[in-house]
A and B are shown apart, each in its own frame.
Chain A
Amino acid sequence: MISIRKEILKVQNMTNLERYNKVFTDTFNIEVSELNDDFNTDEIAEWDSVTQLALVEALEDEFEIMFDTEDILNFKSYTEGRSILLKYQIDLEE
């Protein structure tokens, strides 16, 4: 069951990667261990257009950014999302 996050996390003392992962685990209601390179729109049935927008919304709120339209369209995987965030100076390796 997918839960649409409404509140901003902004949990202190979390790394960018932990915040990124939490958006996914909250949105898809999964464990962080399930997140890997295969977590994408082809493999995850629940990742539909509604979830796509929910993910974007949650990430925008969490990191205080706004995705360009092309980034919304290209955001098809957990891995791709990390690259997209880097474009907005959100480095998940830090």
Chain B
Amino acid sequence: MSSNLILDRKVCIVTGASRGIGLAIAIKFVKEGALVFANARNAESLSDDLASAEKHYPNLTIQYYDVTKSDEVKSAILEVKKLHGRIDVLVNNAGIVSYELVALIDFERFHQMLETNVVAVLRITQLVSRIMARQNSGSIINISSIVSTKGVKGQVSYAATKGAINAITIAAAKEFAEHTIRVNAVAPGMVGTERLLSIMGEKFQHKENDIGFGRVASPEEVADVCLFLASDMSSFVTGQIIGVDGSTIM
């Protein structure tokens, strides 16, 4: 019996799924039939939303690991491989964001951000791509940012990490093409996550005027693009940086 679900039985890993865009992606995927492994750093960082999603959706499993710790990452990937023998989709969403002028960049924090936003992405991509190469298929989706392509005052360090993500995406797409592994990035503009909305009133309200659509994106709108990239509907799409920004002027 065929299914109408877009990601029917696809094995998907979503990092940083406790809240915001990652949570929206995990829920969107599981609703479309995927077997989702949703990462949270630890039990303390687990959101009520993800905890209740796990209870509500039998095919959503929470995995605790710090993406910057290679042993933890490897154990998690191995667990998925042992359970299902394959990984169809990896969404590299976990990341740190920062807002500061160049003169105020804290380099200790910058290194931490590089470790999470760039090194960890490469590490998990290395492990997962080895499994995807054996099955000769897979989709890797990296969450980038509009600041990586358009730049913004006050986010130079963050933009540097997301620029690296774009470069990884384009280069990895070429390297993995022979194994039919697709690699794409989604570059959201301002997204109405709880984190952003909590600070938007103070710092960013005037920024909504810079968005052609006159509003921020919802996390679900970003998740929709990820759904497309995870699905067979994008079977010939690779090496792309896809903006989800409602015509934002940076």
Binding site for B on A (CB under 8 A): 57, 64-66, 68-69
- Give chain B residues whose Cβ lies under 8 Å from the Cβ of A64: 78, 81-82
Q: Across the A-B interface, how many residue pairs have beta carbons closer than 8 Å? A: 15
- Give chain B residues whose Cβ lies under 8 Å from the Cβ of A69: 126
- Give chain A residues whose Cβ lies under 8 Å from the Cβ of B74: 66, 68
> Digit string of B98-139 for contact with A (CB within 8 Å is 1, else 0)?
000000000000000000000000000011001000100000
- Give chain B residues whose Cβ lies under 8 Å from the Cβ of A57: 130, 134
Dominant secondary structure of chain A at its interface with chain B: loop
Q: List 9 A-B contacts (CB under 8 A).
A: A57-B130, A57-B134, A64-B81, A65-B78, A66-B74, A66-B78, A66-B81, A66-B127, A68-B70
- Per the CB 8 Å criterion, the residue count for chain B at the interface is 10
Bound state CA distance, A65 and B131, in angstroms?
A: 12
Task: Rank and list the top 5 A-B pairs by shortest CB-CB distance, nearest first.
Answer: A66-B78, A66-B74, A64-B82, A57-B134, A66-B127
Asked if B187 CB lies within 8 Å of chain A CBs, one says no
Residue of A nearest to B82 (CB): A64
Residue of B nearest to A64 (CB): B82
Residue of A nearest to B123 (CB): A69
Asked if B89 CB lies within 8 Å of chain A CBs, one says no
Asked if residues B77 and A66 are in contact (CB atoms below 8 Å), the reply is: yes
**What is the distance, in angstroms, from B31's C-beta to the closest C-beta of chain A?**
30
**What is the distance, in angstroms, from A64's C-beta to the closest C-beta of chain B?**
6
Bound state CA distance, A66 and B87, in angstroms?
A: 14
Bound state CA distance, A69 and B81, in angstroms?
A: 18
Within 8 A of A (CB), among B63-91: 70, 74, 77-78, 81-82
Q: Which of the listed residues B70, B126, B134 has the most CB atoms from chain A within 10 Å of its own CB?
A: B134
Residue of A nearest to B71 (CB): A68
Bound state CA distance, A68 and B77, in angstroms?
A: 13
